Amino acid sequence: MTRAIRSSVMTSPFAARYDSGAVRPAPGRRQALIPMPSPRVLLPAGLIEARVHELAAAIDRDVPTPLHVIGVLTGAFVFVADLVRALRGPLTVDFIAASSYAGTSTSGQVRLLQDTTLPLDGRDVLLVEDIVDTGLTLQALQDHLRARAPRSLRTVALLDKPSRRRAGVRLDYVGFTIPDVFVVGYGLDYEGRYRNLPGVAELADE
């Protein structure tokens, strides 16, 4: 599975590695480079843009308006920004923040870091996630939001890693299904870095 995606990426005209951003010594200083992995592009920005427009068209068709969009911070901020601008119907936007990750692995404990600010009762809610891995974060967030009595609750995730699922969560829309690799870019981070990469890339050891 991993190989299939890698080889299709390697034959793509977009195939590339992002600059690792390794810390370089000041000119004239004799320090070694501090090595950082160079993320390998899996999903180039243009491919994501096209898929976001397809998702928006499907959501516009299915979901009554006004839509209430809730983005999951921090990883989904780029996806939310692109998705809401591709949606045609009237909508409102709010954010929620949860955390379960340390480095490249999940702790299994989901913590609510920041709640939404607007009431949900009677609203048609679209929860926007960056990536669903074990599903534990999404399960906790869906339970939390359902308890606030929205009229409907749908979920869209840009990325889905179904091979690592531990919770049976419902995903209404998925951008891309990916293998079990750690990815960064397009809002996703490793230790707070790489969120500004325009596409999604695999962070592999060199």
Task: Tell the smallest beta-carbon distance from residue 72 to ligand IMP (Å).
Answer: 6
Q: Say which residues have a Cβ less than 8 Å from residue 78's Cβ, sequence separation at least 6.
A: 186, 187, 195
Q: Are 77 and 71 in contact (CB under 8 A)?
A: yes
Site for ligand IMP, residues 134 to 193, rule: CB under 6 A: 134-138, 182-184, 188
Task: State the sign of the Cα–Cα–Cα–Cα dihedral 20, 22, 28, 30.
Answer: negative
Active site residue 133: yes
Site for ligand IMP, residues 84 to 113, rule: CB under 6 A: 100-101, 106
% helix, strand, coil for the chain, step of 5: 25, 35, 40
Instruction: Choose the catalytic residue: 82, 124, 133, 160.
Output: 133
DSSP at 163: G
DSSP 108-150: EEEEEEE--SS--TT-EEEEEEEEESSSHHHHHHHHHHHTT--
Site for ligand IMP, residues 42 to 61, rule: CB under 6 A: none
Q: Which of 128, 130, 154, 185 binds ligand IMP (CB under 6 A)?
A: 130
**Spatial distance between the Cα atoms of 136 and 106, rounded to a whole number of angstroms:** 9
Task: Tell the smallest beta-carbon distance from residue 129 to ligand IMP (Å).
Answer: 6
Task: Tell the smallest beta-carbon distance from residue 136 to ligand IMP (Å).
Answer: 4
Task: Tell the smallest beta-carbon distance from residue 41 to ligand IMP (Å).
Answer: 14
**Contact region for ligand IMP (CB under 6 A) — 35-43, 55-63, 84-92, 132-140?**
132-140
Residues lying near ligand IMP in the complex (CB under 6 A) are found at 72, 75, 100-101, 106, 129-138, 182-184, 188
The residues that are catalytic are: 133
